[in-house]
A and B are shown apart, each in its own frame.
Chain A
Amino acid sequence: MIRLARYLIPLFVFLGMCVFLYKGLYADPTIRKSEVLSKPFPVFELPDLEDVQILHTNEIFDGKVTLVNVWGVWCITCAIELPYLTALSENGLTVVGLYYDQDIDPNFGTKTLTRVRQEVAETVSRYGNPFAFNIFDVFRDTALDLGVTGAPESFLVDENGVIRVHHLGDINPRVWRQKFSPVLNEIAPSIEASIALMNDAITGAQAGIGEGVSGE
């Protein structure tokens, strides 16, 4: 018995290490816990992108659920998610852009605000405009306060101004179902019901296309 254990213990240790290392092989090192989740949205006072005289503050969150999308025209993934975000806004979700531009910063070069506005207008006219308005994060301080590491990132903020979902990367029906749907169902069930119907329609249509291809 003891003799048997002498050979079995190393075997089990080895197998345990195999499982551990195998899991490590497919672990995503970029996944990190968000520090702002379940915390109030950082205090800010920033100008509107279209009219710098208008100042937005945390009051924009009062009384409604808001999806804050951190984006920029230079970011390709942001453009890819614009049509879906537009569909979300059409279903009654307020989408607000937190816009930031690299080129208007001392570190990155010079671009006039007029040029930025022009590029934004071009982009949203091509891919869809989900934004109620764009907040211009001039020095990217609010992005830093939010723990943003790169665009696109999205924050679902409830009517009390508390961040309920922090998502890195683009939003699509799959991501929505996994991350946003359960939370929105809790804080704004009517909007979520409408979005869920739309998602089913999108995936249904995609499945239909898939069948068509496989049937050929």
Chain B
Amino acid sequence: MSKKPVLKGLSKFVRSVGVCMSVCIGVAAFTLCTPAFAQNSDDVGQAALIQQTELNPQSQPQPGQTPAGLQERPKQEYAENYVFVDAGKRREFLELTAELRCPKCQNQNIADSDAPIAHDMRRKTYELMQEGKDKSQVIEWMKVRYGDFVHYQPPVNAVTIWLWVLPVLFAVLMLVFFILRRKPDIEQDIESKLARADQMLKDD
């Protein structure tokens, strides 16, 4: 094996970097797999909504009202106030608005966004919950209209499976490659070099 030491050192370095990277990517992929990470949302928006839901319990949207009765509607507050009798329901509402993604703005959940569409979606979420729909039904309702984009947890399907599989596959491949490429003849190499050095010394 007559290889330039610089190149050899370089290839070794590249290989170890490759292994480190693949391990990192593997770890990241597994972190992403856990639902806790995907649902990790902005606490600020949630806190604001908690406040909103607690304040002003007297006024609330009236979804069932007929259009004809529009002009007789009482003057309403600007902020939306969603009233829940059941604390569990309220928790569910806050979870939903944190999990659902605003389709208009880039990467904000509907609890956090002030876009008109986010207001509408919060109101719709509330309405659907009042109708007795559970969390998954509300998410499904939104998905039918706005696609998988609207939920922060992407479904695992034929397209998205690669997000999880590719990094792991890459890490495994790199590991196999690394093990296969390890050469046991380094010692011999050194021995032959030492012999050559001895020879040179003798020649002098």
Contact = CB atoms under 8 A, between A and B. Distances in A.
A113 to B, nearest CB: 6
Contacts of A46: 67
A106 B104 CA distance: 21
Contacts of B121: 144
Interface centre among A108, A138, A146, A147 (most CB of B within 10 A): A147
Interface string B110-129: 00000111011101100000
Contacts of B149: 32
Interface stretch (B33-41, B73-81, B84-92, B195-203): B73-81
Interface in B48-85: 59, 61-63, 67-68, 70-71, 73, 75-80
Interface residues of A, number: 35
Contacts of A113: 70-71
- Name the interface size band of chain B: 20 to 34
Interface in A8-54: 10, 29-30, 32-33, 35-36, 46-47, 52-53
A104 B68 CA distance: 13
B103 interface: yes
B136 interface: no
A118 interface: no
Nearest to B146: A147
A149 B124 contact: no
Contact of A107 (B14, B67, B119, B145): B119
A8 to B, nearest CB: 14
B154 interface: no
B103 A32 contact: yes
Interface string B130-157: 0000000000000011110100000000
A33 B146 CA distance: 9
Contacts of A32: 103, 147, 149
Interface in A97-155: 102, 104-110, 112-113, 136, 138-141, 143-150
Given A52-B67, A102-B116, A144-B121, A35 B80 contact: no
A144 B122 CA distance: 12
Given A6-B11, A35-B146, A136 B67 contact: yes
Nearest to B106: A29
A145 B75 CA distance: 27
Interface string B12-26: 001000000000000
30 contacts: A29-B106, A33-B147, A35-B145, A35-B146, A36-B145, A52-B67, A53-B68, A104-B70, A106-B59, A106-B80, A107-B61, A107-B79, A107-B80, A107-B119, A107-B120, A108-B119, A109-B76, A109-B78, A110-B75, A110-B76, A138-B67, A143-B120, A144-B124, A144-B145, A145-B145, A147-B145, A147-B146, A147-B147, A148-B117, A150-B115
| Shortest 8 CB-CB contacts between residues of A and residues of B | A106-B76, A149-B104, A47-B67, A147-B145, A138-B67, A149-B103, A107-B119, A106-B61
Given A10-B14, A47-B68, 12 more contacts: A6-B11, A32-B103, A32-B147, A36-B145, A102-B116, A107-B123, A108-B78, A108-B116, A110-B76, A140-B120, A148-B117, A150-B117
